[in-house]
Amino acid sequence: MSGTSLDGIDVAITTLEPSGAFQFIAAQTFPFPEQLHQKLQLLITDQHCNLQDLGEIDIALGQLIGKSINQLLNTHQLSSNDIEAIGSHGQTLFHSPSGEFPFSLQIGDANVIAEITGITTVADFRQRDIATGGQGAPLVPAFHQALFSAENEERVIVNIGGISNITLLPASSNKAVIGFDTGPGNALLDYWTTLHLGKAYDENGQWAKSGKCNESLLSIFLNEPYFEQAIPKSTGRELFNKAWLDNKLTEYAKKPDPADVQATLVELTALSIAEDIENYTTSNGNVFICGGGAHNDFLLDRIQSLLKNKKVSTTDDLGLHPDWVEACAFAWLAHRSINQQTGNLTSVTGAKHPVILGAIYQ
Ligand SMILES: Nc1ncnc2c1ncn2[C@@H]1O[C@H](COP(=O)(O)OP(=O)(O)O)[C@@H](O)[C@H]1O
Ligand SMILES: [Mg+2]
* CA of 45 relative to ligand 2 center, distance in Å: 17
What is the pLDDT at residue 18?
Answer: 84
Query: Residue 337 and residue 327: Cα distance in Å, rounded?
Result: 15
CA 161 to ligand 1: nearest atom: 19
Question: How high is the pLDDT of residue 19?
Answer: 83
pLDDT at 173: 78
What is the rounded CA–CA span in Å between residue 236 and residue 330?
19
User: What pLDDT shows up at residue 268?
Assistant: 98
Task: Classify strands 163-169 and 178-184 as parallel, antiparallel or unpaired.
Answer: antiparallel
Rounded to the nearest angstrom, the distance between the alpha carbon of 110 and the centre of ligand 2 is: 19
Q: What is the pLDDT of residue 253?
A: 87
Q: With a cut of 70, which residues of the chain have pLDDT below it? A: none
Question: Of 1.10.287.130, 3.40.50.300, 3.40.50.2300, 3.30.420.40, which CATH number belongs to 141-322?
Answer: 3.30.420.40
Same fold: 9-136+325-361 with 141-322: yes
Task: Give the chain as a 3 state SS string.
Answer: CECCCCCCEEEEEEEECCCCCEEEEEEEEECCCHHHHHHHHHHHHHCCCCHHHHHHHHHHHHHHHHHHHHHHHHHCCCCHHHCCCEECCCEEEEEECCCCCCEEEEECCHHHHHHHHCCCEEECCCHHHHHCCCCCCCCCHHHHHHHHCECCECEEEEEECCEEEEEEECCCCCCCCEEEEEEECCHHHHHHHHHHHCCCCCHHHHHHHHCCCCHHHHHHHHCCHHHHCCCCCCCCCCCCCHHHHHHHHHHHCCCCCHHHHHHHHHHHHHHHHHHHHHHHCCCCCEEEEECHHHHCHHHHHHHHHHCCCCCEEEHHHHCCCHHHHHHHHHHHHHHHHHCCCCCCCHHHHCCCCCCCCCEEEC
What is the 115 CA–ligand 1 centroid distance (Å)?
A: 30
> Ligand 1, closest atom to CA 159?
17
Cα 160 to middle of ligand 1, angstroms:
8
Q: For the chain, which residues make up each domain, given as ranges?
A: 9-136+325-361, 141-322
Question: What is the per-residue pLDDT for 103?
Answer: 98
pLDDT attached to residue 165: 97
Out of 1, 2, 4, 5, mutate this one to test ligand 1's pocket (max ligand atoms within 8 Å of CB): namely 5
Pick the ligand that lies closest to the CA of residue 200. 1
1, 189, 193, 201: residue to mutate for ligand 1 pocket, most atoms within 8 A of CB: 201
259 CA → ligand 2 middle, Å: 24
CA of 36 from ligand 1 middle (Å) equals 19
**Residue 193 alpha carbon, nearest atom of ligand 1:** 27
Give the closest residue (by CA) to ligand 1 atom 25.
5
Residue nearest to atom 24 of ligand 1 (CA): 292
- Which residues does a 6 A CB cutoff place in the pocket of ligand 1? 2-5, 7, 161-162, 186, 189-190, 201-205, 291-293, 295-296, 326
- Cβ atoms 144, 167 nearer than 8 A: yes
Q: What is the model's pLDDT at position 174?
A: 85
Nearest ligand by distance to the CA of 329: 1
Topology of domain 9-136+325-361, CATH: Nucleotidyltransferase; domain 5 (3.30.420)
